[in-house]
Amino acid sequence: MTKKVAKPRKMPAFTKPPAALVDVFQRAVADLPNVQSRQMFGYPAAFTKTQMFASLFQDKLIVRLSDADREAARRDGARPFEPMPGRPMREYVVVPEAARESPSTLRAWLAKAHTYAASLPPKKKKGSTR
C-alpha cells in the first residue's frame, strides 16, 4: 500500500502595504496608551501588554476583537482575516475600507481591539516555565 504524500503548500507572494496606509495606522495607534509598535511578519503591528491588537497585512488593516465585538464588526462590514485562503486567524477581522477613511471611526475600532488585548493575560516568554 502506497502512502499518499500531501503536496507542500506554496506560500503566496506578499506585498508591502501602501505608504498612506502605514501612515494612517501609525498615527491612529500613537494616541492609544501603552502601545508598543514593532514589525510582525514584516508588517507594522501594535501590541499592548505583550498581546498584538492590530496590524497591517498587505493592503489590509486587521484588529483583534472579542467574540461580541467581532459579531458587531461583521454587521459593520468586517470580514474574518485569512492571511492565506482557508486559514482564518482566530479573533482577527479586516477593518472595512470605509472605517479606515474616518479617523474617529478607525480610532473606535482600534480602541476596542486595544481594550480586548489589554484584558488578556500577558504572553509567556518562549522557553520560560513560569
CB 94 within 8 Å of CB 62: yes
| CATH number, domain with residue 63 | 3.30.1460.30
For 9-39, the pLDDT digits (tens) are 565 678 999 999 999 999 999 989 999 999 9
pTM here? 0.84
Task: Identify whether 127 is part of a domain.
Answer: no
Residue 111 belongs to domain spanning:
19-119
Domain count, the chain: 1
For 33-92, the pLDDT digits (tens) are 999 999 998 999 999 999 999 999 999 999 999 999 999 999 999 999 998 888 899 999
Secondary element (H or E) of residue 80: strand 79-80
For 82-106, the pLDDT digits (tens) are 988 888 999 999 999 999 999 999 9
